[in-house]
Amino acid sequence: MKKIIAIVGAAFGAAGQRCMALSVAIFVGESKDWVNDLVLEAKKLKVGCGFEEGIDVGPLITPQAKERVCQILDKSGGTTILLDGREGYDDGGNFLGPTIVTGVTPQHLCYQEEIFGPVLLCMTVDTLDEAIAITNSNPYGNGCAIFTQSGSCARRFQHEIDGMSFYLSVAK
């Protein structure tokens, strides 16, 4: 469960508006089953004014930032939005709840653009080789992490990854 909480915090903290926010998670093999737990945990987050007690996700910086995130999501056909943070926050503010999108490929606009909002894009692959290839071909160069119980997978990741903003989740 710690890995789920860590992923949720990295994706939705600061409303996803920090450079090191987790924007894409690549799930390798059986770790794709973690997505449902991510949705359940993200639903627990409270959205609202950051000055209020108990708020987990504050507003986006401007109305234009919120509109940009919504437009990218609208133009990312062929994906599935498992948790839609646009729902319930149309109050004229800049609020957008946690959003989890699956079925994402490098061809989707949501993957090609840096979203800077509380949106987690989920990709699934069968092998660590595929995950490393996707990560290394991404044009953005941010932080990168791996959740695994395999020392050899962690070592390969450490030596072969170019350092992008992804979590690779390997359930072994």
- Which of the residues are catalytic? 19
How many CB atoms sit inside 10 A of residue 160's CB? Answer: 13
Nearest to 127 by CA among 100, 148, 143: 148
Residue corresponding to tokens 């709840």: 97
Which whole-number Å values give the CA distances from 152 to 30, 128, 157, in the listed order? 17, 11, 9
Q: What is the DSSP string of 72-97?
A: HHHT-TT-EEEE-TTTT--SSSS---
CB crowding 113-145: b at 16 or more within 10 Å, else e: bebbbbbbbbbbbeebeebbebbeebeeebebb
Per the DSSP assignment, residues forming a β-bridge with 119 are 99
